[in-house]
Amino acid sequence: AALLPRPARGLTDRLYCGRRVCYEVLGVSRQASKAEIARAYRQLARQYHPDRYRGEPAGGEGSGAQAAHEKFLLIAAAYETLKDEETRKDYDYMLDHPEEYYRHYYHYYSRRLAPKVDVTIVILVTVCAISVFQFFSWWSSYNEAINYLASVPKYRIQATEIARQQGLLNKTKEKGKNRRSKEEIREEEEEIIKDIIKNKIDIKGGYQKPKIYDILLFQILLAPFYWCKYVVWYCWWIYCFTIKGQEYGVEEKLYIIRRYMKMSQSQFDSLEDHQKETFLERQLWIRENYELYKREQEEELKKKMAMDPRWKRYRRWMKNEGPGRLTFIDD
């Protein structure tokens, strides 16, 4: 019986105006309008404000600056309770139903501790900031890949040859008044070579050209569309290959292989074409063939590591001088 919740006995010290009724503190009735409440608050605030108090009696609450200060805090708490419609509604409900002790505590502190800014706005701003950072980060990675490819002799020579065939490099060398410095000509030629590399080379994986539809904001906005598309595709898959028993096409076979390898679409697209042809030749969409292929790859990797001199040195160091070995040095 002692553990059971006990009904509240009227008002509570830690809620709203404590043991005092907020309406009585401001000297208004429960039917008072917002304008009447605000007017009563301004009158009492001018009377009991610490900066305006000059030692007069604090009106029934004792005398002195301390009593006036406490009276002013009580007036401010009453006004904060009654000026908001939702808070006033909760307070009126507490006055009418004082026995619902825990419900009043919950409503009071949930409003006091609630964030002042709308959570939706915070989430939206956060998603937009992440999307902007994501987009510019992808552009930075893409430009780094282009700059690297422009420094590789194989791609640079091919791009330079294409630029000469198209007559782009000859336009940079002008005479007369429009003649430019060697540094300006070199920079323009570098940009032409990079543009040709961008158009001729298909970069895949983490350094591919960023697309605005791949950022987080558009992914969230298009999530319902992608979900409906996946449901339609899944139903089509079940109907064609499970119910009707049709044979897999090339795309379907590659999809099953990618699922077996646990690779994302971008990772699988970054593989060379001859690797995908090898997957199809070995019929890796069949589970047994894939398991055999996986064991072969693991064995091949073990052989490469066994023959790698760096791996041999590491194993020798772990055996002779590894972190688990204690030695004493004699001076």
What pLDDT sits at residue 11? 65
**Are residues 27 and 105 part of one domain?**
yes
pLDDT band at residue 126 using 50, 70 and 90 as cut-offs: very high
> Would you say residue 142 lies in a domain?
yes
What pLDDT sits at residue 232? 95
**Are residues 127 and 92 part of one domain?**
no
For residue 81, pLDDT over 50 is answered with yes
Kindly report the CATH number assigned to the domain that includes residue 53: 1.10.287.110
Please answer whether residues 206 and 142 qualify as being in contact, where contact means their C-beta atoms are separated by less than 8 angstroms.
no
Q: How far apart are CA 246 and CA 107, in angstroms?
A: 61
**Are residues 160 and 191 part of one domain?**
yes
> Would you say residue 90 lies in a domain?
yes
Domain-terminating residue out of 85, 113, 141: 113
pLDDT tens digit string along 290-312?
Answer: 999 999 988 888 888 777 777 77
**Are residues 73 and 30 part of one domain?**
yes
pLDDT band at residue 58 using 50, 70 and 90 as cut-offs: very low
What pLDDT sits at residue 63? 54
> Would you say residue 225 lies in a domain?
no
Q: Is 325 exposed, middle or buried (0-12, 13-18, 19+ CB in 10 A)?
A: exposed
> Would you say residue 313 lies in a domain?
yes
> Would you say residue 281 lies in a domain?
yes
Choice between 137 and 205, residue whose per-residue pLDDT is larger: 137
**Are residues 205 and 142 part of one domain?**
yes
What pLDDT sits at residue 233? 92
**Are residues 36 and 82 part of one domain?**
yes
pLDDT band at residue 7 using 50, 70 and 90 as cut-offs: very low
**Number of structural domains, the chain?**
3
What pLDDT sits at residue 29? 87
Return the minimum-mean-pLDDT range out of 125-139, 156-170, 283-297.
Answer: 156-170
pLDDT band at residue 61 using 50, 70 and 90 as cut-offs: very low
| Domain of residue 75, residue span | 22-113
For residue 117, pLDDT over 70 is answered with no
**Can you give the pTM of this predicted structure?**
0.48
**Are residues 131 and 109 part of one domain?**
no
Return the structure tokens found at 33: 């309008």
For residue 60, pLDDT over 70 is answered with no
**Are residues 94 and 153 part of one domain?**
no
pLDDT band at residue 93 using 50, 70 and 90 as cut-offs: confident
pLDDT tens digit string along 229-258?
Answer: 999 999 999 999 889 888 899 999 999 999
> Would you say residue 291 lies in a domain?
yes
Q: What is the mean pLDDT of the chain?
A: 79
The percent of residues in the chain predicted with pLDDT above 90, rounded, is 15
Q: What share of the chain is helix, strand, coil (3-state, %, to 5)?
A: 70, 0, 30
**Are residues 148 and 78 part of one domain?**
no
Q: How far apart are CA 291 and CA 285, in angstroms?
A: 10
What pLDDT sits at residue 176? 52
pLDDT band at residue 2 using 50, 70 and 90 as cut-offs: very low
> Would you say residue 16 lies in a domain?
no
Q: How far apart are CA 276 and CA 322, in angstroms?
A: 42
For residue 9, pLDDT over 50 is answered with no
For residue 182, pLDDT over 70 is answered with yes
Query: Which H or E element spans position 300?
Result: helix 287-307
**Are residues 45 and 72 part of one domain?**
yes
**Are residues 312 and 291 part of one domain?**
yes
What pLDDT sits at residue 94? 85
**Are residues 160 and 129 part of one domain?**
yes
> Would you say residue 59 lies in a domain?
yes
